[in-house]
Amino acid sequence: MTRRTFLGMPATAPPGVGHLRGAESFPAAARRGLADPQLRRNLRHATTTIRAKSGGVIAELPDWEQLRAAGAAIKADTLARLPELLEQLEARVTEAGGVVHWAADAVEANRIVTDLVRATGVDRVIKVKSMATQEIGLNEALVAAGITPVETDLAELIVQLGGDRPSHILVPAIHRNRAEIREIFLREMPGVDPTLTDDPTALAAAARRFLRQTFLSTPVAVSGGNFAVAETGTLAVVESEGNGRMCLTLPQTLITVLGVEKVVPTWRDLEVFLQLLPRASTGERMNPYTSMWTGVTPGDGPQAFHLVLLDNGRSAVLADEVGRQALRCIRCSACLNVCPVYERAGGHAYGSVYPGPIGAVLSPQLTGIEDNASLPYASTLCGACYDACPVKINIPELLVHLRAEAVESHRRPTAESIAMAAAAYAMDHPRLYAAGQRAARLSRFAGRRGRGLPPPLNGWTGSRDLPEPPAQTFRDWWADR
Amino acid sequence: MSSRDVVLGRLRAALAGGTEPVEVPRDYRHTGTLDLDQLVQRLTDYRAHVHRVAEAAVADTIAGILPPGGTVVVPPGLPPAWLPPTVTALPDDGLDNARIGAADAVVTAAAVAIAQTGTVVLDGSPDQGRRVLSLLPDRHICVVRADQVVATVPEALARLTPHRPLTWISGPSATSDIELIRVEGVHGPRLLHVLLLP
């Protein structure tokens, strides 16, 4: 499949900007996660704890399956009518005093936000945790323009101060323990009390002190959005800490970057997602804070509101009739918490800001399969993610679908494809095959130490036992009779 | 070609293969049996402090929560009888953030409360005020009348007006970002008191 870039046709996210592509393939990156016992302990603790909490509050709802079915259908309906719903959203937001911008990709979205911030004359913005702005690499773009973005979610702040990358959608600093967080704060947080302990309450209080003045003195905020209601123009952000409320309430200007798939048709649809999201995500009946706003409200909150509607590969995902269901995702991270591969490899192994099972299907579709060809294989196809998904995305089906695409897209031969081609050639040529079998028998004597294959095939035998070649081949036995 | 045309054009092209209309099943629960004890239990579960009092006792209850001489931010439409004489009221006539943040508490009414989730919702009405009022002070005292309580999330949405700025509050500010240990009060109010009137 070639990258389609001409105007008006579905296009994938451009390379060289944002965080959808890792520097290395999943197997190479996963090896580092697997070799880090601290990371694996932290992840195991986190995923098992959240799973148990989530299971408990889901069991309280006798209509959970009906809510899932409704959530899946609302999103499927949304995707089927996406252009008209976005136009409706644009009209309602504009009527309510907001300004709507359209961004074809990460480069354009970054430029729009940077220009909006520059127009206010400030050189610092406060940010609400947002997957969309991470996806497009907004922080890097702002820094390049001389603007300091301050992450205000505690975990994102830990990641930002640590010069690190998030490893989970919901709890981005889950790979860090309290001692590491204390060290990061002592090293990177200006004005921190040097006697700071690693007690979580003390660490959270340090972040509160550090950010309070920033909240009160920064007139521009950037957020993402969990939902946008086409019918009313209402935006919704769910959160826990109150940093979201600070960013959405205190500044004069609010800029919200929203993936086009986040729209829902009606106000009433929120009654489904506000039940599904917190229970599937943090395992709570309701998250501590949800903020909803429609355009601007005179005398209350930001008096300038900009909504940036982002494509960045979503149209390409929508174009795939099987793959488009990945756009139903409400970023709850339930699939991460049940995935045996994620639990062991960790979020960084996926290379993209979207880790875990949903990342393994969303990232390759957003970038084009060529750029994330190893991700559809980062799964055992056990199906736990499908069962956990509150909007019933059939991730295993998608993984298989994308594996087929990855195979088709392979233009460069791999070690495996060379070996298979050689085997096919030998099996087509009986004398060569017989010679090969005799050679294999010789290897009984050649390799005393470790019965692995030579490079580049040693990766296969590194974790598998190679059956010992028999002393006599069937052909030799037949010939001897 | 504007980016708007580009994005909408791409999305239309992506759907050019045709789509089937999707019927949304709405057979989940819309209403439930109202249970005020459940609201109390779920709020308490979130470490909010709940006081079940008669309206005549609101002022005394607030006096018990706050230190004598404490300052209280007051939205313009809050019933004056709710405030005890022992506190100093700061009516919001455009208070600046520094004064709001330095207050010992804010007292607001609510628009709706949801029993099944332990949630109170503020909608910016005069007895609730601007969003910032319930954000900066360290204590939020929220007065809820029993007739404002509904059982389910769908019932709550049906009572709310989307064009008002809405703040849904379920317990005090909290984070679980450090080894998943829940810590109250990161940026929002560290203490939430709900006074539930009959």
Q: How large is the ipTM?
A: 0.97
Q: What is the pLDDT of residues A42-62, one digit of tens each?
A: 889 999 999 999 999 999 999
A235 interfaces chain B, CB cutoff of 8 Å: no
Per residue in B54-93, pLDDT (tens digit) is: 999 999 999 999 989 999 999 999 999 999 999 999 999 9
As given in the structure block, the two tokens for residue A375 are 């991700």
pLDDT band at A428 (very low <50, low <70, confident <90, very high): confident
Please name the residue that has the structure tokens 């233009």: A411
Q: Which residues of A touch B114 (CB under 8 A)?
A: 286
The packing angle between helices A64-80 and A82-95, to 10°, is 90
Q: Which two tokens mark B181?
A: 């240990």
- pLDDT for A447: 47
- Burial pattern B27-65, b for ≥16 Cβ within 10 A else e, equals ebbeebebeeebbbebbeebebebbbbeeeebbebbbeb
Cα gap B75→B128, rounded to integer Å: 6
A406 interfaces chain B, CB cutoff of 8 Å: no
| CA dist list (Å): B14 to A76, A257, A316, A404, B20 | 14, 22, 7, 20, 14
Residues in Cβ contact with B57 at an 8 Å cutoff, skipping those fewer than 6 apart = none
Place of tokens 């429609």: A294
Rounded Cα distance between A272 and A280, Å, is: 12
The amino acid present at A226, given as its one-letter code, is: N
Q: B27, B122, B162, B111: which is closest to A267 by C-alpha?
A: B162
- Tell me the two tokens of residue B171: 């317990």
Query: How far is A72 from A69, CA to CA, in rounded Å?
Result: 5
Residue A142's DSSP bridge partners are none
B11-47: pLDDT as tens digits: 999 999 888 899 999 999 999 999 999 999 999 999 9
pLDDT of residue A7: 65
B116 neighbors B32 (Cβ within 8 angstroms): yes
- At position A160, the amino acid (one-letter code) is Q
CB A211 within 8 A of CB A292: no
Q: What is the pLDDT of residues A261-276, one digit of tens each?
A: 999 999 999 999 999 9
Percent of chain B past pLDDT 70, that is, above it, reads 100
Is a pLDDT exceeding 90 seen at residue A169? no
**Are A66 and B11 in contact (CB < 8 Å)?**
no
Minimum mean pLDDT range among A111-115, A361-365, A469-473, B178-182: A469-473
End-to-end alpha carbon distance in chain A: 54
B168 bridge partner residues: A290, B121
pLDDT band at A1 (very low <50, low <70, confident <90, very high): very low
Taking CB atoms and an 8 Å limit, are B6 and A245 in contact across chains? no
Q: Which of A109, A168, A98 is nearest to A352 (CA)?
A: A168
From the list A154, A249, A268, the residue facing B131 with the nearest CB is A249
Of B116, B164, B187, the CB nearest to A243: B187
Measured between CB atoms, does A333 come within 8 Å of chain B?
A: no
Q: Residue B91 pairs with which residues in a beta bridge? A: B74
Q: Establish if A77 touches chain B: CB-CB under 8 angstroms.
A: yes
| Cα A138 to the center of its chain, rounded Å | 16
Question: Could you tell me how many helices (H) and strands (E) chain B has, helices first?
Answer: 5, 12
Q: Would you mind telling me the total number of residues written for chain B in this entry? A: 198
| A202 part of contact set with chain B, CB < 8 Å | no
Are A245 and B27 in contact (CB < 8 Å)? no
